[in-house]
Amino acid sequence: MINSIILVFIGGAIGAIVRELLMLGTPHLSDNFPLDILVANIAAAFLLGLVTALHTRRVISDDTNLLVGTGVMGGLSTFSSFVYGAVVLMGASTQSAVVATIYVGVSLVIGYGAVTLGMKCGKGRQS
């Protein structure tokens, strides 16, 4: 139990650092579209799908799944930032409300595709 908590703690710290680096390195768009949050969440969605598939195949251990799947991906993705970005866009103007709606839709559709792609990549070749 304590080992699991430590693995998630360490992974979460790593994921949060990677998220911050991604957010600092992602260009800001002129319409305030939260591209940095989108990039972090889509990367995390893909990697979570990949880790899940590898864990299902027993390519990675339970401990590695906790460290990366729960810890790192939990620290990298951020639902609260996702929603906050949409709320800020929504309140700015009528035009921004359209951009916010597009942001939410794009995040969901691409996020779903990223998890699916990650899982397919992690499944490997089926005999």
Name, in order, each residue with C-beta under 8 angstroms of 91's C-beta and a sequence gap of 6 or more. none
Q: Do residues 41 and 113 touch, judged by C-beta distance below 8 A? A: no
Q: Is 81 annotated as a binding residue?
A: no
**Inter-residue contact 61 to 3 (CB < 8 Å):** no
CA distances from 58 to 5, 8, 67, 77, 120 (A): 21, 19, 15, 24, 15
Task: Please check if 77 is assigned to a binding site.
Answer: yes
Binding-site sequence positions: 74, 77
Binding-site sequence positions for Na(+): 74, 77
